[in-house]
Amino acid sequence: MSLKSLTLMHQPAVAHVVFGIFNLAWPNIAFWAVGLVFFGIGVYARMPHFMEMDKNTRKRYENEQMKKQEHEGEKR
């Protein structure tokens, strides 16, 4: 074994990205990115409950829609 092959033996198996005091391999970054995307999709899937209108807002919205329909009916 020569000294030239010694540097090859100490190379990492995959490319790394160095962030200051620690470095990450690209497969790790891809794994965490996919995990975060799935987590975001899961959070978004549960969001409609939080995005629903309360009773007063729903009533006000429905009244506005009815007024729009009446106004459009008067135009015709």
Residue 7 is predicted with a pLDDT of 61
pLDDT digits (tens, 9 = 90+) for 22-34: 677 888 888 999 9
Helix (H) or strand (E) holding 76: none
Domain boundaries, the chain: 3-75
**26: Cβ contacts below 8 Å, ≥ 6 apart:** 14, 15, 16, 17
Three-state DSSP at 25 gives: strand
The model carries a pTM of: 0.46
Query: What does the alpha-carbon distance between residue 37 and residue 48 come to, in Å, rounded to a whole number?
Result: 18
- For residue 38, the model assigns a pLDDT of 95
